[in-house]
Amino acid sequence: MTSYRPSFKNKELIRNTSFVNGEWLDPPNCPSFKVTDPATNEVIAELPDQPVSVVDEAIDAAFTTFQSSYRHTTPRQRAKWLRNLYDLMLENADDLAKIICWENGKAYSDAIGEIKYAASYFEWYAEEAPRLYGSTIQPSNPSNRVFTVKQPIGVCGIICPWNFPSAMITRKAGAALAVGCTVVVKPDSQTPLSALALAYLIDKAGFPKGAFNIVLSHTQTPAFGLKLCESPKVKKISFTGSTPVGKILMKQSASTMKKLSFELGGNAPLIVFQDANLEDAVTHAIASKFRGLGQTCVCANRMYVHKSIIKEFSERIAKEVSKFVIGPGLKEGVTHGCLINSKAVEKVQSHVEDALDKGAEVVVKGGLLPELGPNFYAPTVLTNVSPDAIVNKEETFGPLCAIIPFETIEEVVGYANDTNVGLASYVFSKNVDTLYTVAEALETGMVSCNTGLFSDCSIPFGGVKESGFGREGSLHGVDDYVTVKTITIGNLPAPL
């Protein structure tokens, strides 16, 4: 096992404490928590495991800044700050990607892709900030006139996951900052260094003190979430994570009737019909399934392949998987890194064992790679997986490629929709009628046809059912951070 400790051009990006009201807090007299490199389990940082009082401090700072100044800044000024931030992220892209590799374990190619994707949200919302349009309405009373304005909702609590430690912040904070909201961010304690680096760049971009705040904790994470949900000064919670945690946050937010947007669990089906371009379908299935080694919420979790082509499809998938180079994310030539922790490894193993117990056939055995490190797992490819296997009901979030046969459109749509979540789905066919029919029938918030990679700042991202609600990105991305105010002017004189 080799340790790959990165070197950074801009060492100021590595921070060791919370960022509140434009200041890096002096590490308090409190316990610390360790951040580890999942490739080696080596400790790479020790950060303060702060008390809940730091959340109050951050909320107060965000509230004061929102009320006194930030809500009154011009859209063009906010656009300038966001554009500055976009430029700063690209200038520091190499270092930011290395931080992700270091604390998250993904390969550098994935990490640099995340940074460019994350930065694109600041560019997008810099362009959207001046376009926060209202509307004019002619009511039934001819002597009245009505117009609407969109106003920032206020302080926003942002709770983020570990799998995209940079992009999940920018996708939310970009929209909030663009419309005039201030934010308090709670990053996952497994990957806080990316969030702290982002705070450093936000400070350099010129945003007012208190507009963007980062709070850190490990053991107090549930209490931090509760504080954000129950504070009357926080008007919005945006969360990306598991469905069970989303339900808890929703209950906790009921006491103050907060506005909520949740991007929760997925279990994405990928459907390949017999008339699909098989080469393209395999290429895009690989890209979707194994991005981040399967640790994204839109990764294809279930591959439904028509019975007539399942053998050839499986063999082609195996051939592409054999080309993977698995290893530490910072090692040159590595295409895929490691899983985030031992629990992730155990979940993949349990799903593989369940599918095999129910009759699946092994195409690529895969499995643990202890010679590389504790959390390395080579992809497993199984074919003729039973529709009753647990992978059909529960997201694996790892490198298990489960291939399930089907024969009819009705059958496969039934399989795909037989889950309580609905985030993303994929359909491959040359027949436009098939694409339209299946895309409209699938119970997911996003359907990707004949491509496995669709995420982009310009599209609305979000799910249905227990995958949550609200949309991030696109022109709709600002909607969750504003209120629509209706203004009526009455008793106007008759027209001349």
Q: Establish whether domains 11-264+469-483 and 268-458 are of one fold.
A: no
On whether the CB atoms of residues 297 and 266 are closer than 8 A, the answer is yes
Among candidate residues 353, 310, 320, the one with its CA nearest the CA of residue 452: 320
pLDDT at 28: 67
Which of helix, strand or coil describes residue 172? Answer: helix
pLDDT at 305: 98
- Of the CA atoms within 13 Å of residue 447, those in its CB half-sphere come to 17
pLDDT at 496: 85
pLDDT at 26: 83
On whether the CB atoms of residues 131 and 211 are closer than 8 A, the answer is no
**pLDDT per residue as tens digits for the range 36-46:** 999 999 999 99
Mean of pLDDT values over 315-326: 98
Top CATH class of 11-264+469-483 equals alpha beta
Question: Distance (Å, rounded) from C-alpha 56 to C-alpha 223?
Answer: 12
Q: Which residues of 253-273 are buried (b: 16+ CB within 10 A; e: fewer)?
A: beeeebbbbbbbbbbbbbbbb
Answer whether residue 1 shows pLDDT above 90: no
Answer whether residue 27 shows pLDDT above 90: no
**pLDDT per residue as tens digits for the range 90-112:** 999 999 999 999 999 999 999 99
Question: Distance (Å, rounded) from C-alpha 314 to C-alpha 109?
Answer: 26
Query: Domain 268-458: which topology?
Result: Aldehyde Dehydrogenase; Chain A, domain 2 (3.40.309)
Mean pLDDT of the chain: 97
**pLDDT per residue as tens digits for the range 362-408:** 999 999 999 999 999 999 999 999 999 999 999 999 999 999 999 99
Question: Distance (Å, rounded) from C-alpha 305 to C-alpha 271?
Answer: 6
**pLDDT per residue as tens digits for the range 188-202:** 999 999 999 999 999
On whether the CB atoms of residues 147 and 137 are closer than 8 A, the answer is yes
**pLDDT per residue as tens digits for the range 211-241:** 999 999 999 999 999 999 999 999 999 999 9
Which of helix, strand or coil describes residue 472? Answer: strand
At 29, is the pLDDT very low, low, confident or very high (cuts 50, 70, 90)? confident
Contacts of 118 (CB under 8 A, 6+ apart): 89, 164, 166, 167, 169, 170, 171
Task: Say how many residues make up the chain.
Answer: 496
At 441, is the pLDDT very low, low, confident or very high (cuts 50, 70, 90)? very high
Which of helix, strand or coil describes residue 310? Answer: helix
What are the structure tokens assigned to 398, written together? Answer: 């790892």
pLDDT at 4: 73
What are the structure tokens assigned to 108, written together? Answer: 């550098």
Question: Distance (Å, rounded) from C-alpha 194 to C-alpha 14?
Answer: 8
pLDDT at 2: 64
Catalytic-role residue among 103, 114, 263, 472 = 263
**pLDDT per residue as tens digits for the range 134-186:** 999 999 999 999 999 999 999 999 999 999 999 999 999 999 999 999 999 99
The model's pTM: 0.96
**pLDDT per residue as tens digits for the range 275-301:** 999 999 999 999 999 999 999 999 999
pLDDT at 118: 98
> CA-based diameter of the chain, in Å?
86
Give the sheet arrangement for strand 468-469, strand by strand.
Answer: 23-24, 19-20, 212-214, 182-186, 155-159, 234-240, 259-263, 468-469
Hey, how many other C-beta atoms are within 10 angstroms of the C-beta on 441?
Answer: 16
Q: Which residues of 346-374 are buried (b: 16+ CB within 10 A; e: fewer)?
A: ebbbebbebbeeeebeebbebbeeeebbb
> Domain spans of the chain?
11-264+469-483, 268-458
What are the structure tokens assigned to 251, written together? Answer: 């209950």
Q: What is the residue type of 479?
A: D
Query: Is residue 57 annotated as part of the catalytic site, yes or no?
Result: no
> How many whole angstroms from its chain centre is CA 147?
35
Which of helix, strand or coil describes residue 441? Answer: helix
Which of helix, strand or coil describes residue 430? Answer: coil
